[in-house]
Amino acid sequence: MTRHFIFMKGNSVKDGAMWEFLRRLRVHPGERHEVFGDVRKLVTEEFVRQKYLDISPIPLTDPVEFKFQWGPRAAKETSRRELLQFVATVRPRGRRRGARGAAAPPGSGWWFRRPLLSRGGLSSARAP
């Protein structure tokens, strides 16, 4: 889910946004999870060590903030098509609103248009 969240947020997420996202999923950083164990350690150390995520400090922030991006292994193992298929299954239609409060049409977000416009279409597009 962390990789999908990063993708949906434009390929870079501040650490505070990541922790808030996980809290909404009832996975609380700083508390021991029965399946994931120490969630903060899992994300900042294990996923980074396995190269699924990159974490780097954001310059000129006080206190220091960090940003998460996909690591090289995530980019290599996950296609945009697979990612979009997953997002389509977990993101309910009609929640995203367009102009004047009308529901935006499915596939109208940049994350749907970008792979379609890429050379070769969805099947050959790879995640950034």
Query: pLDDT digit string (tens) for 82-123?
Result: 877 877 777 665 555 544 444 444 444 544 445 544 444 433
Judge if pTM exceeds 0.75: no
The pLDDT, as a whole number, for residue 118 is 47
The pLDDT, as a whole number, for residue 50 is 95
**Terminal-residue alpha carbon distance, the chain:** 16
Local confidence band at 29 (pLDDT 50, 70, 90 cut-offs): confident
The pLDDT, as a whole number, for residue 122 is 39
Residue type, 125: A
At CA 97, angle to CA 119 and CA 115, rounded to 5?
10
| Topology (CATH) of 2-75 | Arc Repressor Mutant, subunit A (1.10.10)
Torsion of CA 1, 28, 11, 4, to 10 degrees: 10
C-alpha distance from residue 24 to each of 14, 31, 42, 48, 67 (Å) = 16, 14, 17, 22, 19
Going from N- to C-terminal start, the domains of the chain cover 2-75, 79-124
% residues pLDDT > 70 (the chain):
70
- For the chain, the average pLDDT equals 76
